[in-house]
Amino acid sequence: MKIKVIINEEKEIKEISEGNTIKDLLKILEIPSETVVVKRNEFIVIEEEIIKEGDTIEIIKVIYGG
């Protein structure tokens, strides 16, 4: 199935397997889940959220420090 992935203003269409979760997508993209916040169709979601055909997934890198 096809989804739109947005990372740092860069948009691309990805083909992923049906039933994949946000966590699965982050593994595919080699992005550590603890370094990002993920939005699905404009709403913040948890890693266990299942991705559906046509979803827009926005991956926002979190900046932290001391």
The answer to whether position 50 is within a domain reads yes
Q: Mind listing the pLDDT tens digit for each residue in 14-63?
A: 999 999 999 999 999 999 999 999 999 999 999 999 999 999 999 999 98
The answer to whether position 51 is within a domain reads yes
| Domain hosting residue 50, numbered range | 2-19+30-55
The answer to whether position 64 is within a domain reads no
pTM: 0.91
| CA-CA-CA-CA dihedral for 50, 31, 65, 63, to nearest 10 | -70
Q: Which residue has the higher pLDDT, 58 or 64?
A: 58
- The domain total for the chain is 1
pLDDT at 64: 72
Q: Which of 49, 44, 18, 33 is nearest to 58 (CA)?
A: 44
pLDDT at 66: 64
The answer to whether position 6 is within a domain reads yes
